[in-house]
Amino acid sequence: MSATPTEAFDVVIVGGAAVGSAAAYFLASDPGFRGRVLVLERDPSYRDSATARSAASIRHQFSTPGNIRLSMFGTRFLREAAERLAVDGEAPAIGFREGGYLFLASAAGLPVLQANHRTQRAEGADVALLSPAALASRFPWLATGDLAGGSLGLSGEGWLDAFALMQGLRRKAQSLGVVYRAVAASGLRREGRRVVGVELADGAFVAAGTVINAAGTGAAALARSAGIELPVRAKKRCVFHFRSPARLPGCPLVIDPSGLYFRPEGEGYICGIAPGPDEDPDSDDFEVPLAWWEDRLWPALAARVPGFEAARLLSAWAGHYDMNLLDHNLILGAHPALDGLLFANGFSGHGLQQAPAVGRALAELVVHGGFRTLDLAEFGWARVLEGRPLRELNVV
Ligand X SMILES: Cc1cc2nc3c(=O)[nH]c(=O)nc-3n(C[C@H](O)[C@H](O)[C@H](O)COP(=O)(O)OP(=O)(O)OC[C@H]3O[C@@H](n4cnc5c(N)ncnc54)[C@H](O)[C@@H]3O)c2cc1C
* Residues at the interface with ligand X (CB under 6 A): 14-15, 17-20, 40-43, 46, 49-51, 53-57, 184-185, 214-218, 222, 237, 239, 319-321, 347, 349-353
Distance CA 326, CA 344 (A): 15
What is the nearest approach in angstroms of ligand X to the Cβ of residue 130? Answer: 22
Q: Cα–Cα distance between 149 and 151 in angstroms, integer? A: 7
Q: Identify which of residues 148 and 162 has a Cβ nearer to ligand X in the complex.
A: 162
- First-to-last alpha carbon distance for the chain, in angstroms, is 47
For 105-135, b where at least 16 C-beta lie within 10 A, e where not — what string?
A: beeeeeeebeebbebbeebebbbebbebeeb
Q: 96 vs 144, which CB is nearer to ligand X? A: 96
C-beta closer to ligand X: residue 27 or 148? 27
Residue 111 Cβ, how far from ligand X at the closest point, in Å?
26
State which amino acid sits at residue 184: A
The amino acid that residue 53 corresponds to is R
The nearer residue to ligand X, 62 or 139, going by C-beta atoms, is 62
Residue closer to ligand X (CB basis): 80 or 202: 202
CB of 89 to ligand X, least distance (A): 27
What does the alpha-carbon distance between residue 105 and residue 354 come to, in Å, rounded to a whole number?
25
Q: Report the nearest approach of ligand X to the CB of residue 185 (Å).
A: 4
Smallest separation, CB 330 to ligand X (Å): 9
CB of 104 to ligand X, least distance (A): 17
- For residues 120, 123, 127 and 130, what is the CA-based torsion angle, rounded to 10 degrees? 40
CA distance 302 to 286: 27
Whichever of 99 and 307 has its CB closer to ligand X, that residue is: 99
Report the C-alpha gap between 391 and 368 in whole angstroms. Answer: 29
User: Which 3 state secondary structure label does DSSP give 197?
Assistant: strand
